[in-house]
Amino acid sequence: MAKIIGVTGGIGSGKTTLVRYFESLGIPVFIADDEAKKVTQLPEVLDQIKSVFGDIVFENKQLNRQKLAAIVFTDAEKLDQLNRIIHPAVRSQFQLWLDQYQSAPFVIYEAAILFESGSYTICDYTITITAPLVDRINRVILRDNCTREQVLQRISAQWTDEERIAKSDFVVENADTETAKQQIDHILKILYN
């Protein structure tokens, strides 16, 4: 049975880049945030979102993610309500996905809010990716074409690195990708032995 390695980190820490490295090593990767976008297209999930947030987050009968984000990243209670809709659906999809990789030694479950969502409880090991705050801000501004204030607002809605590190088995400092990859190689060496 495959061991599940949970990978997490704050927005802009470089999680996606580093899980792609795991993937290049032949380790199957499940990206919870990508799956969350897919499950929000399911009629039953859309119905739940509409019942909690109303028509304001819909435009031409389509979910407007930016409007939803503007609400949940300024209201912790609304974020929690959204998470209670999305995370069970994502976890169900993960279980279906995992069935395909039972013979792999390891699989990666990447989630920005691995600990906050309780998803860490399905993991055998956890890795937190960290990066200097200025790097994180700059990465997100470039990636999402948003303002520094919007990035800081999202960061403040997530756990701190210290909170994640306290619950993690391993930490990878991603100030530069090559050094971070070496740290991953070291972690895998430990896990394979």
Q: How far apart are CA 126 and CA 169, in angstroms?
A: 5
Q: Residue holding tokens 């990066």?
A: 131
17 is in an annotated binding site: yes
16 is in an annotated binding site: yes
List the end-to-end C-alpha distance of the chain, in Å, as a whole number: 16
Q: Is 128 annotated as a binding residue?
A: no
Query: Binding residue per annotation — 14?
Result: yes
Q: Residue 145 CB: number of other CB atoms within 10 A?
A: 8
Binding residues: 12-17
Binding residues for ATP: 12-17
